[in-house]
A and B are shown apart, each in its own frame.
Chain A
Amino acid sequence: MSGPELGLAVSVFAACAVEAVEALTIVLAVGTTRSWSSALSGAGAATVVLAGVVVGLGPALTSLPIDVLRAGVGGLLLVFGLQWLRKAILRASGLKAFHDETAAFAEETEAARAAARAAAGFDAYSFTIAFKGVLLEGLEVAFIVLTFGANQHRIPLAAIAAGVAIAVVAAAGVAVRAPLARVPENAMKFAVGVMLTSFGTFWGAEGAGASWPGADAALLVIVPVLLAISLTFVALIRRGALSAAAQAPVTAGGGA
């Protein structure tokens, strides 16, 4: 497996695992509170829709000219990656609350108990909540699978990495029968943000016609440098340096 392929597999696995942990919390909440069969049906239906998105859009993406594909995919990965990275940096620096699976589980459970209940059989509430939860958490992962996979013409590898992540999280969920609160979600989101942003930068520049010194080996520099810069931002925000710098023009009356 080449370096970019390994990066693809690791990034997709981590992104999918994090989103699967959040989806699992929702399915567990409605499953334990109301109806397991309806919740699992909803989760299964959403997984089928997500697989359909990958299977349907994959061939269309891989048929695009490589430069157009790389510029477009690079841009999308950058927009997604910068969002993941920004939130992870803000969490790591203490300015944004960590995602708490236990609290999310309690909130979903409370809502499920409060919702009106059908007499027996199929529970539309459980199905809908599980379907929406899995679909919304999974849509971004489906796009990551598509963009990463299409760019390297390795959509099956990306899909396998995503499938393994879902299987691992589902197995862990079945084993503990509780939200996976001990998964280091922010660290994983931080890593995914760095990887998406690094690959987005690499492919975006290539697609726009730039040539990287060292070709694919440039990624071995981009990833650690971006990680170091991100950690520096965490340290700067903790010290209040970034927001203080932002406040200076406002104090001087020059804020736009």
Chain B
Amino acid sequence: MSRLQAGLFGAWEFIVGDDWRVALGVVTAISLTALVATSTVAAWWVLPVGVVALLADSLRRAARQARRH
């Protein structure tokens, strides 16, 4: 692995961590909030709902994986 590859891998591990779906979900939830904010509907609730859903989904997968081992 070259230094560049190692650096990119390190940055990915540092920012994204061990569950890339959470990072992708956060970006999606913030984008969705921005989209709703442009309408006449209140947008403050979108991100909290998304965050709880992401946490539940990530925990569910982790719990299932842990119980399998």
Interface residues, chain A, with chain B CB atoms under 8 Å away: 71, 74-76, 78-80, 82-83, 85-86, 89-90, 93, 95-96, 139-140, 197, 200-201, 204-205, 207-213, 218, 222, 226, 229-230, 233, 237, 240, 242-243, 245-247
Contact = CB atoms under 8 A, between A and B. Distances in A.
A210 B56 contact: no
**SS class of chain A's interface: helix, strand, loop or mixed?**
helix
Contacts of A197: 51, 55
Contacts of B30: 71, 74-75, 204-205, 207-208
Contacts of B51: 78, 82, 197, 200-201, 226
B7 interface: no
Contact of A205 (B46, B52, B58, B66): B46
Interface in B11-54: 14-19, 22-23, 26-27, 29-31, 33-34, 36-38, 42-44, 46-48, 51-52, 54
Interface of B is mostly: helix
Interface of B: 14-19, 22-23, 26-27, 29-31, 33-34, 36-38, 42-44, 46-48, 51-52, 54-56, 58-64, 66-67
A210 B37 contact: yes
A83 B56 CA distance: 12
A237 B59 contact: yes
A155 B62 CA distance: 35
5 contacts: A75-B30, A82-B22, A86-B59, A240-B67, A242-B60
